[in-house]
């Protein structure tokens, strides 16, 4: 701001003529130009050109992205909304030999979530946890741990109605997926044969595991578009069609299986035993008609039972076979020609030396023939037979019947047993083996060996699949097999050790076995009771082995008491179900006549002598 008349000290005074000297002379009438008027046209051209270039560049880029080189961005867009999801497929159905379902797959739903989306709505988590039946903190922790992922299962294999109710809450990021769950209609009775599947529907044990590839099928796949909440809004195309698993028909007869399960359970309850097994085989084909074990488990709720209950003891557990070994010892002696059916054995005084030990009988049976050795189950008699056989001779014979090797059934986890070669024997081994100690077998091996005796000396590997028969091999002369079979018949007749295995109207061949359980330093006073047999003797149809482990000695422990009744009750039902004709009509007719006489006596009537004498003939015709 200038103040008139003021001048800073020391500055020279300006001359007004200086301004005139600095400005050039102007022509009269000329006005100075405006800067805006001077640059307006150029600026408009410049801005217009720049805008045109930008528009052209944008159009070119849009053309490039949408028409020429659009693949990359289409892939990026598809990655955000287009998904390839699996199409679940069901496992094949398992049926018994008569077509009755044993394992079926039912559709279920699995609830899953996208943690990235779900965690954006934390206020909905308590509602979701309550609907899932989960702890709220547990759900939050699970989602937080997988916050960077787009998929996590929340609850699998639930009822479709339950899944529908959860989805009705419309919680962002929550969806469902179709799966299949295995269901076993027969429950505990069939558990060890079938096994079970895991949460991914893969076979874990039993035949579900053995035939997993056959049963499983191939899942399909399809492309879908999902919205931000994970819901499918459009099915784009089918990538691969799902191929369901193939059905499997077993050799098992569920009726015989149930009979065996029921009778074995009754025996374990009656004698307070810890476990048991039973196996039924079709003699002619080798097909397994029943296989049961106790304790058992519910395959529909596997997690509720102890792991030990899952074990199929009939094929995995090893036991010393006891006196069920004696028919093979007799057959070995007959084949070698060192004994005949009429050979005499002096078992006095009820024991015989075996190195520094003794082989003893429960009683002194005195002098026995070969049949008597089996009928009385004489350990001494079996030892005397083994002494006439060479070590290798005895070993080779027993080995032919499958002891010391797997049966070839293909069942997962099957044990081969323990039957050491002669070069590992000591001086007492052969004699001890002759009556069922110093070797170990499974109940399935016993049943298979007995089936060979009933099949004319042909050993057929057991099979769990109907119509699938492995080649048989001749392991014993048919005449010797028949001879041994008829000797075994005496075991179930009066004077034998298994009269409780007798079946009215049928000849039954069998052998009891009672072995002491090994303990530290020797054998304890705990026992395993066996019975193995065949019926009917004239044309054997069934072979069955029963094992009752660790019964209460005070209630009974010998095989003829604890296991033989199981055989009788199961075989009575099986013979009736399979319509097997009796081979002992005389006893059947006599029993019928006696029952009729008792009925008439109880009602106060009496049959005339002539009627009584003529009664059997019509009955015989009816049975035949």
Whole-number pLDDT of residue 623: 31
State whether 109 and 125 are in the same domain.
yes
* Residue 105, domain member (yes or no): yes
Cα separation of 136 and 138, whole Å? Answer: 5
Cα separation of 500 and 576, whole Å? Answer: 19
* Residue 320, domain member (yes or no): yes
State whether 458 and 423 are in the same domain.
yes
Whole-number pLDDT of residue 6: 44
Whether residue 90 lies in the annotated active site: no
* Residue 53, domain member (yes or no): no
State whether 197 and 324 are in the same domain.
no
Domain that holds residue 376: 254-298+312-583
* Residue 18, domain member (yes or no): no
Task: Report the 10 Å Cβ neighbour count for 139.
Answer: 19
pLDDT tens, position by position, 18-28: 555 555 555 55
Contact 111, 132 (CB under 8 A): yes
Nearest to 549 by CA among 256, 251, 308, 382: 308
State whether 319 and 465 are in the same domain.
yes
CATH number at residue 539: 3.40.710.10
State whether 465 and 567 are in the same domain.
yes
Whole-number pLDDT of residue 214: 95
Cα separation of 547 and 447, whole Å? Answer: 11
State whether 316 and 224 are in the same domain.
no
- For residue 70, what are its two tokens? 């659009």
- For residue 316, what are its two tokens? 């995995």
Contact 388, 339 (CB under 8 A): yes
Cα separation of 303 and 328, whole Å? Answer: 42
Peptide bond into 193 cis (omega under 30): no
State whether 578 and 597 are in the same domain.
no
Q: Among 227, 249, 271, where does a domain finish?
A: 249
The single-letter DSSP state of residue 441 is B
Quickly list H helices, 178-277: 191-194, 206-210, 212-216, 254-271
Whole-number pLDDT of residue 224: 74
Q: Which residue among 90, 110, 323, 563 is the active-site one?
A: 323
State whether 354 and 368 are in the same domain.
yes
* Residue 350, domain member (yes or no): yes
Classify strands 458-459 and 220-226 as parallel, antiparallel or unpaired: unpaired
Whole-number pLDDT of residue 622: 33
* Residue 22, domain member (yes or no): no
Whole-number pLDDT of residue 388: 96
Rg of the chain's alpha carbons, rounded to an integer?
A: 45
Coil, helix or strand at residue 52:
helix
* Residue 489, domain member (yes or no): yes
Nearest to 191 by CA among 288, 313, 301, 297: 297
* Residue 604, domain member (yes or no): yes
Cα separation of 445 and 566, whole Å? Answer: 19
What values do phi and psi take at 351, rounded to 5?
-155, 160
C-alpha distances in Å from residue 210, one per residue of 3, 104, 145: 114, 17, 37
Contact 552, 543 (CB under 8 A): no
Contact 217, 246 (CB under 8 A): yes
Low-confidence ranges of the chain (pLDDT < 50): 1-6, 8-9, 36, 610-624
Number of domains in the chain: 3
CATH number at residue 199: 3.90.1310.10
Whole-number pLDDT of residue 17: 57
pLDDT tens, position by position, 158-216: 888 999 999 988 888 888 888 889 999 999 999 999 999 998 889 999 999 999 999 99
3-state secondary structure 159-182: CHHHHHHHHCCCCCCEEEEEEEEE
Query: At which residue do the structure tokens 């029921």 appear?
Result: 262
State whether 617 and 531 are in the same domain.
no
3-state secondary structure 321-371: CHHHHHHHHHHHHHHHCCCCCCCEEECCCCEEEECCEEEECCCCCCEEEHH
State whether 466 and 321 are in the same domain.
yes
State whether 192 and 292 are in the same domain.
no
State whether 569 and 522 are in the same domain.
yes
Whole-number pLDDT of residue 437: 95
């Amino acid at each position: 701001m200038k103040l008139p008349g003021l001048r800073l000290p020391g500055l020279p005074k300006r001359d007004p003529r200086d301004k005139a000297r600095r400005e050039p002379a102007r022509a009269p009438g000329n006005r100075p130009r405006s800067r805006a008027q001077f640059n307006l046209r150029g600026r408009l051209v410049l801005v217009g050109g720049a805008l045109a270039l930008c528009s052209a560049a944008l159009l070119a880029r849009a053309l490039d992205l949408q028409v020429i080189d659009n693949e990359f961005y289409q892939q990026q867009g598809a990655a955000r909304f287009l998904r390839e999801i699996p199409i679940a497929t069901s496992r094949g159905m398992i049926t018994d030999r008569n077509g009755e379902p044993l394992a079926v797959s039912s559709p279920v739903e699995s609830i899953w979530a996208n943690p990235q989306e779900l965690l954006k709505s934390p206020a909905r988590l308590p509602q979701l946890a309550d609907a899932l039946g989960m702890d709220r903190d547990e759900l939050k922790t699970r989602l937080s741990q997988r916050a960077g992922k787009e998929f996590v299962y929340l609850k699998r294999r639930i009822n479709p109605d339950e899944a529908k109710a959860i989805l009705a809450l419309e919680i962002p990021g929550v969806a469902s997926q179709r799966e299949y769950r295995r269901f076993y209609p027969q429950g505990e009775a069939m558990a060890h044969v079938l096994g079970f599947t895991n949460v991914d529907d893969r076979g874990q044990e039993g035949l579900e595991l053995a035939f997993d590839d056959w049963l499983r099928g191939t899942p399909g796949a399809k492309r879908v578009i999902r919205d931000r909440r994970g819901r499918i809004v459009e099915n784009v195309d089918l990538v691969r069609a799902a191929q369901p698993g193939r059905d499997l028909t077993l050799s098992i007869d569920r009726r015989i299986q149930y009979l065996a399960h029921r009778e074995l359970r009754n025996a374990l309850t009656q004698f307070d035993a810890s476990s048991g097994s039973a196996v039924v085989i079709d003699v002619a084909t080798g097909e397994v008609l029943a296989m049961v074990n106790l304790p058992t488990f519910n395959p529909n709720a596997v997690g509720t039972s102890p792991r030990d209950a899952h074990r199929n003891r009939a094929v995995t557990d090893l036991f010393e076979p006891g006196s069920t070994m004696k028919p093979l010892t007799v057959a070995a002696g007959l084949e070698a020609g060192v004994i005949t059916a009429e050979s005499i054995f002096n078992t006095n005084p009820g024991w015989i030396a075996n190195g520094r030990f003794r082989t003893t009988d429960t009683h002194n049976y005195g002098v026995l023939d070969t049949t008597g050795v089996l009928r009385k189950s004489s350990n001494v008699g079996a030892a005397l037979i083994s002494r006439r056989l060479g070590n290798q001779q005895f070993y080779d014979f027993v080995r032919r019947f499958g002891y010391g090797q797997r049966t070839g059934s293909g069942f997962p986890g099957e044990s081969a047993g323990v039957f050491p070669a002669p070069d590992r024997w000591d001086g007492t081994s052969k004699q001890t083996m002759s009556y069922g100690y110093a070797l170990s077998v499974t109940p399935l091996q016993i049943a298979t060996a007995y089936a060979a005796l009933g099949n004319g000396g042909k050993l057929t590997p057991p099979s769990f699949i109907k119509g699938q028969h492995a080649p048989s091999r001749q392991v014993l002369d048919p005449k010797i097999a028949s001879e041994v079979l008829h000797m075994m018949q005496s075991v179930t007749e009066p004077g034998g050790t298994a009269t409780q295995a007798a079946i009215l109207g049928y000849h039954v061949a069998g052998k009891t076995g009672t072995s002491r359980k090994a303990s530290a330093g020797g054998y304890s006073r705990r026992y395993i009771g066996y019975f193995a047999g065949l019926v009917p003797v004239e044309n054997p149809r069934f072979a069955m082995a029963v094992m009752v482990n660790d019964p209460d000695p005070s209630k009974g422990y010998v095989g003829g008491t604890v296991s033989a009744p199981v055989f009788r009750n199961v075989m009575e039902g099986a013979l009736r179900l399979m319509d097997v004709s009796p081979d002992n009509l005389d006893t059947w007719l006599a029993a019928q006549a006696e029952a009729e006489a008792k009925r008439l006596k109880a009602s106060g009537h009496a049959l005339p002598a002539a009627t009584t004498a003529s009664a059997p003939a019509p009955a015989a015709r009816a049975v035949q």
